[in-house]
Structure 1
Amino acid sequence: PLQFLQQPAQQEAPPEGASHGYICLSVMDGKSLKHRKCTLVDCQGPLVNYKNGRFCDLHLDMRDIYENTHENSNQHTNNSSPSLNVQLPALQDTPGYKVVHTFCAGTTYCIQTVQWACKTPISWRKCYKWESSPQVLAILDTIWANHPESKPSFIAYDDACDLLRHIVTQDPNSSWLQNTKFIVDAWHYIGHQATDILCRLWCNPARTNRSQPDLILTEVDEERNSHTTRAFNTETAEQLNAWLEGFEAHLSQMTDVNFDFFIHVLFLLFTELTENRISKKG
């Protein structure tokens, strides 16, 4: 819609001393924590054998086909002839010469983490193929499906402009457009194109024209000089993901069930650490 290419209307902050209500901001980001899965690209099934397997239970019958193909390939390689011409069998509707090799297991793409600006985790989900806008929107819909009244006022995401563009294109009447503002986190916003009008007008994390007064605070320093500062930390997802990185090697060797359980445990531990930090800070 054209209104997303127009200047957002200015919003007046509540009068001094009046109740401001509660403004909630959540931060979302992808982290490349993976576990192995079926080698077929479009399959999300867990491996039957996590030691050296490649297929899930549904596609286990393809194992013999590709083991035989791999053996034939080795036989051709050992010949004195310098040429190699292996005819791969077709895989379902895909011709053999277009089939990507399946000599090792596949992996998930990443996990998508969501937390409040105070660093408290909210939830997480897995992305199996890529971190696309439709998949990210589906994750958000799933997280707040049973609690639509708890949707955040703002969501900071490194690709918020493309996510907003996707929502507007697919459903201009989406409840996300009515209740939540999508902004790019401060760090990634630096690298976004200045020519992207939608991004500059609607996803700017620090607009100073009073269109988003909840994101900007005016503070007075010790020398009584007024200056603006950000009201929220939009980099909490990066900080959580940096903490999770220490467990990446262990997670990559786990089964899908152990992976999910371990991520849940890590989220609980990080929540406790965050709550202890907040309580000490007072």
Structure 2
Amino acid sequence: METICAPCGVVLAWCKFAKAEGVAKILKFLEDVYSDSASHSSYIAIDKGCALLKHIVRQGHWLACEPTTCIIVDSYHYINHWVTDHLCWTWCNPAPLNGDAPNLVVVSNDKQGNPYYKWAFNTQACEQLNAWIGGNFDFTMHVLLFIHTQWVIAKQEKKKRKQEAGIEVVESDEESEDEEDSESEEESEEEESEEEKD
């Protein structure tokens, strides 16, 4: 699962990637979410930011928001990127101190009044969400399976009541029927049983 989060942790969008988190899929996801320049953010912080930027440059496939959006690597993953990777350290640095990105790094003061540099916003919001999801995965699965079980039991009880009332129950091969389809089938079954009674 891939997510896009605001620095405060609010989830803006999510999608599922089959098998792998490739840069082409990431680019497609970003294009779907940021389809025009009005919807973009100033920075996109992603663990594979430099790989994504290399892919975009090689393909010549620029995002609609490219002129005013910078792709950076989030601070958590950036420390593991090679110092010798010039593209990464020059263009995807989440904390450049050369003045190129004054919105990423601000000067703050410690308790003694000494100035120090700090990140202006949280680039690790998605990683923190992943940690939260991981910690709550078992509970989430338990709740989903409990709800599914209650649904199946209710469906079986409804079927049993129909059989006890003498209404013919038609077995369906497809378990994932539309709610409307299910309702229209039930209505037609009830109409048929009323015709038989007449």
User: TM-score, with normalisation over the residues of structure 2?
Assistant: 0.67
Q: For the aligned residues, what is the CA RMSD?
A: 2.2
1:150 shift after superposition:
1.8
User: Structure 1 residues 135 and 173 mapped into 2: Cα distance closer, same or farther (>3 Å)?
Assistant: closer
Matches within 5 A, 1:222-241: 222-241=111-130
Q: Is residue 2:95 matched to residue 1:175?
A: no
2:92 & 2:45 partners in 1: Cα distance?
A: 9
1:223 shift after superposition:
2.5
Matches within 5 A, 1:179-258: 179-249=68-138, 250-251=140-141
Q: Is residue 2:17 matched to residue 1:127?
A: yes
2:109 & 2:137 partners in 1: Cα distance?
A: 43
Please identify runs of 4+ aligned residues in structure 1 that moved more than 6 A. Answer: 252-255
2:123 & 2:72 partners in 1: Cα distance?
A: 9
After superposition, what is the alpha-carbon deviation per residue over 1:49-102, rounded to whole angstroms, capped at 9, x for unaligned? xxxxxxxxxxxxxxxxxxxxxxxxxxxxxxxxxxxxxxxxxxxxxxxxxxxxxx
Aligned residues: 145
Give the structure with the higher percent helix: 2
Q: Is residue 2:8 matched to residue 1:118?
A: yes
1:128 & 1:183 partners in 2: Cα distance?
A: 24
Q: Which amino acid aligns with 1:199?
A: C
Matches within 5 A, 1:17-96: none
2:40 & 2:32 partners in 1: Cα distance?
A: 12
Work out which of the two has the higher radius of gyration on C-alpha atoms and give 1 or 2.
2
2:108 & 2:143 partners in 1: Cα distance?
A: 49
1:173 & 1:246 partners in 2: Cα distance?
A: 36
Matches within 5 A, 1:155-170: 155-170=44-59
User: Structure 1 residues 127 and 254 mapped into 2: Cα distance closer, same or farther (>3 Å)?
Assistant: farther
1:177 shift after superposition:
2.7
User: Structure 1 residues 173 and 141 mapped into 2: Cα distance closer, same or farther (>3 Å)?
Assistant: closer
2:136 & 2:40 partners in 1: Cα distance?
A: 30
Q: Which amino acid aligns with 2:8?
A: C
Report the more deviating stretch, 223-232 or 132-141: 223-232
1:124 & 1:174 partners in 2: Cα distance?
A: 18
Gaps of 5+ in 2: 149-198
After superposition, what is the alpha-carbon deviation per residue over 1:246-282, rounded to whole angstroms, capped at 9, x for unaligned? 3434549979xx8xxxxxxxxxxxxxxxxxxxxxxxx
Gaps of 5+ in 1: 1-110, 259-282
Q: Which amino acid aligns with 2:30?
A: L
Q: Is residue 2:49 matched to residue 1:136?
A: no
Identity %: 37
After superposition, what is the alpha-carbon deviation per residue over 1:210-269, rounded to whole angstroms, capped at 9, x for unaligned? 0111111011234231111110111111111111123434549979xx8xxxxxxxxxxx
After superposition, what is the alpha-carbon deviation per residue over 1:18-53, rounded to whole angstroms, capped at 9, x for unaligned? xxxxxxxxxxxxxxxxxxxxxxxxxxxxxxxxxxxx
1:175 shift after superposition:
2.9
Equivalence for 2:41: 152
